[in-house]
């Protein structure tokens, strides 16, 4: 399939987030796709708080099986999370394991007032009791397909691709 633009999906998420009326929220995007989506949301929502990013590599539950992600980036939460309303953003919600890891990491920085999960795409296949409050679009890829979010020439889009044998679960 051809890449599909995420722009209308992000606008939809923005509208839904506005409806929630969160007091002085901070946006945190999960590397790499979630950080891209969060950046768009941050601009559309015109938040005064700084955008945060998380790399959950050190919190993954498959470290002893697959080892460390060789391209681990630093997490950056410039605002601090204590008593704040957090909007946690990821590109694709699938097994829920990434979100579990992200929640653990956020709590190592402090105790937020609330965490709202916002994802651009969700697909079936949950392995943990985790659901998103804000969903841009629900998709149903075939078993061996993976939703891949890309940022190219400032175009944020997604496409369904055949997952490689060693793809990490999202």
Residues that bind other proteins (CB under 8 A): 55, 57-59, 63-68, 70-76, 82, 104, 107-110
The CB-of-103 to other proteins minimum distance in angstroms stands at 13
The CB-of-102 to other proteins minimum distance in angstroms stands at 13
- Nearer residue to other proteins within complex by CB, 63 or 138: 63
**What is the rounded CA–CA span in Å between residue 114 and residue 110?**
12
Retrieve residue 44's tokens. 């559309």
The CB-of-100 to other proteins minimum distance in angstroms stands at 11
List the one residue out of 77, 87, 89, 103 whose CA is nearest residue 24. 87
- Nearer residue to other proteins within complex by CB, 60 or 123: 60
The CB-of-168 to other proteins minimum distance in angstroms stands at 13
Q: What is the DSSP string of 18-38?
A: HHHT-SS-EEEEETTHHHHHH
- Nearer residue to other proteins within complex by CB, 70 or 129: 70
- How far from the centroid of its chain's Cα atoms is residue 138's Cα? 14
- Nearer residue to other proteins within complex by CB, 101 or 156: 101
Which 3 state secondary structure label does DSSP give 27? strand
**What is the rounded CA–CA span in Å between residue 34 and residue 102?**
11
The CB-of-159 to other proteins minimum distance in angstroms stands at 29
DSSP for residue 3:
-
- Nearer residue to other proteins within complex by CB, 113 or 160: 113
**Count of CB atoms situated within 10 Å of the CB of 101:** 19
């Amino acid at each position: 399939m051809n890449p599909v633009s995420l722009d209308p999906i992000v606008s939809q998420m923005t509208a839904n987030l506005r409806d929630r009326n969160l007091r002085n929220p901070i946006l945190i995007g999960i590397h790499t796709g979630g950080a891209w989506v969060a950046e768009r949301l941050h601009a559309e929502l015109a938040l005064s708080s700084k955008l945060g990013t998380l790399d959950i590599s050190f919190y993954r539950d498959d470290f002893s099986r697959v080892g460390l992600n060789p391209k681990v980036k630093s997490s950056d939460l410039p605002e601090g999370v204590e008593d704040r309303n957090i909007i946690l953003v990821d590109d694709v919600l699938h097994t829920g394991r990434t979100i579990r890891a992200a929640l653990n990491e956020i709590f190592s920085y402090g105790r937020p007032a609330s965490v709202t999960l916002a994802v651009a795409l969700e697909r079936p296949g949950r392995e943990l009791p985790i659901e998103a409050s804000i969903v841009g679009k629900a998709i149903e890829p075939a078993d061996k397909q993976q939703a891949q979010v890309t940022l190219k020439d400032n175009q944020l889009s997604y496409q369904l691709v055949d997952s490689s044998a060693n793809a990490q679960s999202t």
